[in-house]
């Protein structure tokens, strides 16, 4: 456990100072801030635009960091040979994989927190400037705390995407790992379409294959409650817990698989 914590701390310290990650988070914050100006150009939709854009920017930038940094966790270490020194210390390959994963998750959650703070700051300014009649026309209050549920589920999604990227990077090239992780991300968001493909295709074989893929892929659509919270629709605690538990199980399985593969790999 100690080695896992130390490695996670090392990843956090290294990645939190990475200029690319800084740049991406800065870009997201800028995007969220600029949504305020965009919102001023619209009538009655201002708060919705800020919420839509803020949630989308946080999720999108978070996924980019999760994919590219998640893949780099292993591939960069192996390509640059920094892993040689690390694994010659009293560190097992399992501790390496889990420590790397937790370190990046910690970084992602800090980055997400920065984006959440920027998001609520912009909404607070809008709320302050809005006249009471305008506030009354909104679907949900500007500073609706229920939006934190959407951010929490974005966090869970980023954890799952990071685990997927890490898994692919234990046995494939960086380019292929990026492609496969994005493929899983996209399929994960269109799982329901795969499940009900028999509604639009005649081939039963194809429909069954699609249903099989649906059961193997993570259900990322269940973690996406952005449109609900923007419109002030309540998201049940049961849904949040079930979606998070399923994602947690998927993350655990994928990390076990990553560990098993990585433990048997020659680091040439």
Partner 1 sequence: MDAISIEGLTKHYRVGFWRPRPYVALDGLTLGVQPGEIFGFLGPNGAGKTTTLKLLMQLIYPTAGRAEILGAHVGDASVKRRIGYLPENPYFYDNLTAEELLEYFARLFGYSAAEGRRRASSLLDEVGIGPERRFALRRFSKGMVQRVGIAQALINDPEIVFLDEPMSGLDPLGRREVRELILRLRDKGRTVFFSSHVLSDAEALCSRVAIVVNGRLVATGSLDELTAFEAKGWELVVNGLPGAVLDGLRSSVSGATRLGDGRYALTLPPSAAPEPVIAALSAAGARVVSLTPLRATLEDVFVEQVRAASADRSKATLAS
- Taking the complex as a whole, how short is the minimal distance between the CB of residue 155 and partner 1, in angstroms? 24
3-state per-residue secondary structure call for 74-110: HHHHHHCCHHHHHHCCCCCHHHHHHHHHHHHHHHHHH
Among the listed ranges 7-15, 41-49, 180-188, 236-244, the one in contact with partner 1 (CB under 8 A) is 7-15
Question: CB 263: neighbour CB atoms within 10 A?
Answer: 13
The answer to whether 1 contacts partner 1 (rule: CB under 8 A) is: no
The DSSP letter of residue 233 is -
Provide the mask over 15-54, with x wherever binding to partner 1 is found by CB under 8 A and - wherever it is not.
x-xx------------------------------------
Residue 34: φ, ψ to 5° = -70, -20
For partner 1, the binding residues in 60-89 under the rule CB under 8 A are 80-89
Identify the sign of the CA torsion 197, 203, 208, 210: negative
Considering only 33, 64, 91, 180, the residue that binds partner 1 (CB under 8 A) is 91
The DSSP letter of residue 197 is G
Longest C-alpha distance within the chain, in Å?
67
- Taking the complex as a whole, how short is the minimal distance between the CB of residue 104 and partner 1, in angstroms? 13
Number of residues in contact with partner 1 under rule CB under 8 A? 28
- Taking the complex as a whole, how short is the minimal distance between the CB of residue 88 and partner 1, in angstroms? 4
- Taking the complex as a whole, how short is the minimal distance between the CB of residue 160 and partner 1, in angstroms? 26
Helix axes 46-79, 19-40, angle to 10 degrees: 170
Cα distance between the two ends of the chain: 27
The answer to whether 6 contacts partner 1 (rule: CB under 8 A) is: yes
Q: Please report the DSSP string for 137-161 in residue order.
A: HSSS-TT-TTHHHHHHHHHHHHHHH
Which CB, 202 or 266, lies closer to partner 1?
266
Provide the mask over 118-137, with x wherever binding to partner 1 is found by CB under 8 A and - wherever it is not.
--------------------
Which CB, 231 or 264, lies closer to partner 1?
264
Given the rule CB under 8 A, which residues bind partner 1? 2-3, 6-7, 9-10, 13-15, 17-18, 80-92, 264, 266-268
């Amino acid at each position: 456990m100690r080695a896992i914590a130390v490695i996670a701390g090392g990843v956090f310290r290294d990645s939190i100072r990475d200029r690319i990650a800084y740049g991406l988070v800065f870009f997201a914050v800028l995007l969220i801030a600029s949504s305020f100006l965009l919102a001023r150009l619209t009538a009655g939709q201002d708060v919705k635009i800020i919420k839509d854009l803020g949630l989308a920017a946080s999720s999108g930038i978070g996924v980019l960091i999760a994919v590219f940094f998640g893949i780099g966790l292993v591939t960069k270490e192996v390509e640059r040979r920094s892993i040689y020194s690390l694994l010659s210390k009293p560190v097992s390959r399992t501790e390496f994989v889990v420590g790397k994963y937790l370190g990046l998750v910690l970084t992602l959650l800090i980055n997400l927190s920065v984006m959440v703070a920027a998001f609520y700051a912009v909404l607070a300014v809008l709320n302050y400037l809005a006249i009471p009649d305008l506030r009354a026309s909104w679907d949900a209050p500007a500073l609706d705390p229920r939006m934190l549920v959407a951010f929490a589920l974005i966090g869970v999604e980023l954890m799952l995407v990071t685990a997927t990227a890490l898994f692919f990077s234990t046995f494939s090239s960086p380019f292929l790992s990026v492609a496969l992780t994005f493929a899983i991300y996209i399929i994960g968001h269109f799982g329901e379409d795969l499940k009900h493909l028999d509604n639009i295709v005649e081939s039963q074989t194809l429909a069954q294959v699609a249903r099989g893929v649906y059961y193997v892929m993570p259900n990322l659509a269940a973690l996406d409650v952005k449109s609900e919270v923007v419109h002030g629709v309540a998201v049940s605690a049961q849904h949040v817990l079930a979606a998070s538990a399923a994602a947690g199980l998927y993350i655990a399985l994928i990390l076990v698989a990553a560990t098993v593969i990585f433990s048997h790999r020659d680091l040439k």
